[in-house]
């Protein structure tokens, strides 16, 4: 219920430590963090 309620607010409690962009959900922050240069999770 708490996560659903967050979808109806402007609350973004998960800021990116690299660029400061904030996210509503921790999972979205984790996906975003992979976009920063130098972080490649795959070998090819």
Contact 17, 34 (CB under 8 A): no
Q: Which domains does the chain have, with CATH numbers?
A: 2-33 (3.30.160.60)
Measured between alpha carbons, how far is 44 from 28 in angstroms, rounded to an integer?
24
User: Residue 33 CB: number of other CB atoms within 10 A?
Assistant: 15
Q: pTM for this structure?
A: 0.68
Q: pLDDT tens for residues 4-44?
A: 877 788 889 999 999 999 999 999 999 999 888 776 666 76
Half-sphere exposure of 34 (CA within 13 A, CB side): 8
């Amino acid at each position: 219920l708490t996560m659903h309620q967050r979808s109806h607010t402007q609350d973004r409690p998960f800021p990116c430590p690299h660029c400061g962009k904030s996210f509503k959900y921790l999972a979205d922050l984790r996906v975003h963090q992979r976009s920063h240069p130098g972080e490649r999770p795959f070998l090819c």
